[in-house]
Structures are given as structure tokens and as C-alpha cells.
Amino acid sequence: MDAPVHFFGPLRCLECGASHPVAEGVADLVVDPAASGPLQRGMEQRWVARSYERYMRPVLQRALTRQPLDGDSEFLLYRSLLGTPAAPVLDVGCGTGLLARRLAREPDMAPVAAMDLSRAMLEEGVAQAREAGVGVDFLRAEAPYLPFQDGTLGAVLMSDALPFVADLSRMLLEVHRVLRPGGRWVASTYAPPKAPRALLHRGVGLHPRGEAELRREAAAAGFVRFERVSLPPLLVVKAEKGSAETPR
């Protein structure tokens, strides 16, 4: 049996020749980051990353959804909607990788990758994963673009990340592209508030959506079997990438 081959140094794209650094356990695939809102900029602060799971995330969830699920209920909901992925799972907007770590502990779970734009969050995520002794691959990349080949993922999870995405159509097209047939997209958001709060949310870089818009955009991207769990104002959705024969 041949010995495994280990590669060191930066990642290199075989098609374009671009080189991407790997440091502190994080593959950095961001080339030219777009301007971010105040909330996203706050996520780059190291003190925010260190306190994110215990303090900042619960506070943010309560501010946006009023009555957030407890940690175990939240995980069980996402886990049930993800099903049994037959290929790697990508956690988009992973923060410090709280859900990614729990997924990686699941028996017979496919490999788990976690993606975020915040370097501070990812570095904290690497430290937490090492301390927990679980294997999660962390990469820095900017949604809506997903740095994976067509049809390679079994599921894409976007817990709390969807409101940070301005271009929903592009995001869903990318998710559909990287999923295998039968692969699932699971995401959460919250119902758009009424004015003047809506202007405040937009001002800090948040883009909440309702069920009708999500259902319409998911169908336009090619998804089938759209389902939702409504816990107003929290909205959790699931859709699948169908085969060529699957009717929408």
C-alpha cells in the first residue's frame, strides 16, 4: 500500500495558478474582500471571537429572533433537516464553528468543513476544535462564492448566516452548484421587521427574508422539496438539489 502524500505550504489553484496561504490552521481563499457592514466588521475583533459562543451569539440571536432556541434544540433541528449527507458538509458563516464541531462528533458523519470571512472567528474556531479533539477543516472565503467544485458536497448549512448575504440569488446558485443530487441546503433567517427597524437592520449589513422570497429564489436556483420550520420571527428552511428527472 502506498504511503499517504502530505502537502505543505500554500494552496495553489491548478487552473489559474493562484496561491492562497494557510496559517494557524486556516486556508485563506479571500483575494479582494468586498466592503462589509458594521456588524461584520465587529466580528473581526478578537475579543468578540473569544466571547462569541458564550455571550455574543446568544445576545445577537435574542436581539434578532426574540426567543432563540436553546443550544441542544437548535442543533437537533439542524441535524434532523440535514439528514444523512453522503458527501462532505459545509458550514457557511460558521463563526467559531460551534455547530461544525457538534456535527463532526456525530457517528458516521461525512467530513465537515467550516467557512467564514472573519479571520478572528476562524482562528478561535481552530483552537476550539483542537481542544475538543474533533476534525473540522476551516477556510476563509467570502459568500456568496463557494470555493468547491461542482457536485462535491452532501449538504450546506447556513445557521444564522443567511441575513448577512446581500445577493440571495447568487448564493443559492452557488449552493446548488456545489451540491450533489439529493444534497440539502439548510439555513435560518428571521422575518423582515417593519420600518423604521428595517432601515436600521439594512444599515448594519443585515438582509432578513420571508418565506415567500426564500421559496421563490430556491425554486429559481433549481431546488426542490422546499420545507420550512416557522418559529416567528425565526425561520428555518430546507431544500434539496434534485436529479435531472426530479420535477420542481
pLDDT one-digit tens code per residue, 41-90: 888 899 999 999 999 899 888 888 887 789 899 999 999 999 999 999 99
- Residue 183 pLDDT grade (very low, low, confident, very high; cuts 50, 70, 90): very high
Please check the confidence at residue 208 and state whether its pLDDT lies above 50: yes
Strands 179-190 and 153-158 turn out to be: parallel
Supply the pLDDT for residue 12. 56
Window from 5-14, 79-88, 96-105 with minimum mean pLDDT: 5-14
pLDDT for 7: 43
Beta bridge partners, 22, equal 27
Q: Which helix (H) or strand (E) holds 229?
A: strand 223-231
Average pLDDT of the segment spanning 99-118:
95
pLDDT at 19: 53
Residue range 231-248: average pLDDT? 82
Question: How far is residue 90 CA from its own chain's centroid?
Answer: 7
Whether the pTM exceeds 0.85: the reply is yes
CATH of region 28-241, choose from 3.30.1370.60, 1.10.357.10, 3.30.300.30, 3.40.50.150: 3.40.50.150
End-to-end CA distance of the chain: give it in Å, rounded. 46
User: Is residue 207 within 8 Å of residue 199, measured between CB atoms?
Assistant: no
State how far the Cα of 27 lies from the Cα of 220, in Å rounded to an integer: 32
Longest dimension (CA), the chain: 65
Q: What residues does each domain of the chain span?
A: 28-241
Percent of the chain exceeding pLDDT 90 equals 66
pLDDT: is 203 or 92 the higher one?
92
How many CB atoms neighbour CB 28 within 10 A?
18
Computed over every residue of the chain, the mean pLDDT equals: 87
Residue 98: pLDDT over 70: yes
Q: How far apart are CA 97 and CA 81, in angstroms?
A: 18
Distance CA 195, CA 198 (A): 5
User: Residue range 159-185: average pLDDT?
Assistant: 96
pLDDT reported for residue 35: 66
